[in-house]
Chains A and B, each alone.
Chain A
Amino acid sequence: MTEDEMRETLRSTMTATVPPPPMSPAKVLTSARRARLRRRIAWTCAGTVTVIGTMLGGAAIIHAPILPSIGTPPPAQLAAPGRGTDTSEAWPTGPDGNPQQDRTAHAGARYDQGVQLLGAVLAALPSGYDSPETTGDNGGGMQPTRYQQAQFEERVNGTEVWSYQASIAVTDGVGTGHLTVEVHTANNQLPTESCALVGQFWGMGGVCQVVTVGTVQVGVAVQPTRDGRFDQWAAYRYSDGVVVFVAQGRTFDASRPSLTSLPYTVEQLASLATNAAFHLE
């Protein structure tokens, strides 16, 4: 059986198949809302967590309520060691002393680092390119032309791992593409090998090329993927574990013409991934 025959076989099979009535959006929405509610309840309940921890010489049971307290370290000791899941961990304490409502930091030092990253990305634009001022918003269906986010990822051995993302539209005056930098703080569980690291970015695959920048090696996905999110992206892991992804795409959205060429060459993109300004704690 050839590939074309397989395609035709599946098409004709599905054409001859009578599907049941369409699924009910209301039912799925109800189920999804319940799932979200369950997760929120889990977060709330995590405010008082019983941790059975093995301590030196024996086991201890610790009841550790998460109390609002500005300036105190996050209750990392409450989390189970190792890679956590969404529902098993309390969100980090926000600047108001209360646990965050979700993964995203909306204020405070983490949020500020996201803003700092956005500034660093803008400052790194190559000559001849600019980033238009932001328009639109997340909820309106339009992609903002400048955007940053600081997001809690997980706790690993009691240490919080955060990611920071900055995305901007990039224009050469004619076409508009986009650039994204994503930083994962130390202790993240991302791969150490360059190309394996590249493959982890947004779950995208691609043809990987290892580029030497000074004395370090950077993985770069050089071949576009069909989903159109990015045309190329680079990944670099610092010796302290901080990971930086830098991604560029020719097309920002359907309302604007695309760039005819990418802002950075492969070598420049690799070099950009090692930009010290993107190294965040």
Chain B
Amino acid sequence: MNDRDTGFVEYFTARSEAMRGTAYLLCGDWHRAEDLVQNAFTKLYLVWGRVSRHEVLDAYVRQVLVRLYLDERRRGWWRRERVTSRPLVDRSTPPDAPANRLMVLQALAAVPPRQRAVLVLRYWEDLSIEETAALLHCSAGTVKSQAARGLDSMRTLLMASAPLGE
């Protein structure tokens, strides 16, 4: 294995789990999450050497990941794959998983994609408003409004589903 590959594998080993978690929150499915991560890291590999600082790598992969997710949504991948109108639920969820966790994932899956991306980037990745805006190529004001709407949606959805989950 050459230096390029060694460095790439080291970075993948160090960061792929975190990226997969982010992807999982975005798409709600581990298999799709892994596909997104694999595609994002493949794109990184193609430009490996042009980006070398760790923080730059993280930002790059995160950006590719989110855009792949949004592109998939735009292309209608989810419309083809989803056979019901119910939010996508993780199929690997064990039967005894906490009901709250299921409710949260279902609610998150019901939030529109860009709002969900804002929620995940702001409150899971802890990116600032400006960083989120840069990643999504939108204004800070848009991020604020999307975040507010996303939080409202989550509140409404969780309140609506709470009696069913208990």
Contact between B140 and A32, CB atoms less than 8 A apart: no
A13, B104: Cβ atoms closer than 8 Å: yes
User: Chain A residues with Cβ under 8 A from B9's Cβ?
Assistant: 25-26, 29
**Chain A 113-153: CB-based contact to B (< 8 A → 1; otherwise 0):** 00000000000000000000000001101010000000000
Structural contact, B135 and A23, CB atoms closer than 8 A: no
Residues of B within 8 A of A86 (CB): 46
Q: Are B46 and A32 in contact (CB under 8 A)?
A: yes
CB neighbours (8 Å) of B12 from chain A are 23, 25, 28-29
Instruction: Give the shortest distance, in Å, between B103 (CB) and chain A (any CB).
Output: 9
Contact B104 A9 (CB under 8 A): yes
Stretch in B68-76, B77-85, B91-99 touching the partner:
B91-99
A181 to B99: give the CA distance in the assembly, Å.
53
Scan B113-150; emit 1 where CB is below 8 A from any A CB, else 0: 00000011011101110110111010010000001000
Per-position contact with B for A173-213: 1 when CB-CB < 8 Å, else 0? 00000000000000000000000000100011111000000
A51 at interface, CB cutoff 8 A = no
Instruction: Please provide the chain A residues from 6 to 22 with a CB less than 8 Å away from any CB of chain B in the complex.
Output: 6-7, 9-14, 16-20, 22
A3–B44 alpha-carbon span in the complex (Å)? 32
Query: What 1/0 mask marks residues of chain B from 51 to 72 whose CB sits below 8 Å from any chain A CB?
Result: 0110110010001000000000
Q: How many whole Å from B160's CB to the nearest CB in chain A? A: 13
Query: Given contacts A32-B8, A205-B134, is CB(A226)–CB(B127) below 8 Å?
Result: yes
Q: Name the residue on A nearest B10 (C-beta).
A: A25
Task: Give the distance in Å from the alpha carbon of A206 to the alpha carbon of B63 in the complex.
Answer: 16
Q: Which residues of A contact B59 (CB under 8 A)?
A: 203, 227, 229
Residue from B44, B122, B133, B134 with most neighbouring chain A CB atoms (10 Å): B134
Cα(A225)–Cα(B137), bound, Å: 15
Q: Quote the shortest CB–CB distance from B136 to chain A (angstroms).
A: 9
B98 to chain A, nearest CB (A): 5
Say whether chain B's binding surface is mostly helix, strand, loop, or mixed: helix
Contact with B along A226-243 (1 / 0, CB 8 A): 111100000000000000
Smallest CB–CB gap between B140 and chain A, Å? 7
Other-chain contact of A29, B8, B120, B151 (Cβ < 8 Å): B8
> Is A204 in contact with B24, judged by CB distance below 8 angstroms?
no
> Which of B5, B42, B92 has the most C-beta atoms of chain A within 10 angstroms of its own C-beta?
B42
Closest to B17 in A: A22
Contact across chains for B52 and A20 when beta carbons are under 8 A apart: no
Encoded as 1 (CB less than 8 Å from any A CB) or 0, chain B from 87 to 110 comes to: 000101010011011001100000
Q: Does B25 contact A (CB under 8 A)?
A: yes
Task: Kindly list chain B residues whose C-beta atoms are within 8 Å of the C-beta of A29.
Answer: 5, 8-9, 12, 45
Indicate which residue in A6, A207, A228 contacts B151 across the interface (CB closer than 8 Å): A6
B166 at the A interface (CB under 8 A): no
A32 with B94: in contact, given A143-B52, A199-B134, A205-B134 (CB under 8 Å)? no
Q: Does A31 sit within 8 A of B, measured CB to CB?
A: yes
Whether A3 pairs with B151 at a CB distance below 8 angstroms is yes
| Known contacts A13-B101, A22-B17; is-contact A138 B52 (Cβ 8 Å) | yes
Contacting residue for B34 out of A3, A23, A33, CB 8 A:
A23
CA–CA, A19 and B151, complex, Å: 25
Q: Decide yes or no: A23 and B56 within 8 Å by CB, A6-B151, A226-B127 being known contacts.
A: no
Known A-B contacts A32-B8, A205-B133, A226-B131; the reply to A16 vs B97 at CB < 8 A is yes
Whether A35 touches B46, Cβ cut-off 8 Å, given contacts A143-B52, A203-B135, A205-B140, is yes
In the A-B complex, list the 8 residue pairs whose CB atoms are closest, starting with the nearest: A205-B134, A32-B45, A1-B155, A6-B123, A205-B130, A32-B42, A16-B101, A13-B104
Task: Give the A-binding residues of B (Cβ under 8 A).
Answer: 3, 5, 7-9, 12-13, 16-17, 20-21, 24-25, 30, 34, 37-38, 41-42, 44-46, 49, 52-53, 55-56, 59, 63, 90, 92, 94, 97-98, 100-101, 104-105, 119-120, 122-124, 126-128, 130-131, 133-135, 137, 140, 147, 151-152, 154-155, 158
Interface residue ranges, A against B (CB under 8 Å): 1-3, 6-7, 9-14, 16-20, 22-23, 25-29, 31-33, 35-36, 39, 86, 138-139, 141, 143, 199, 203-207, 223, 225-229
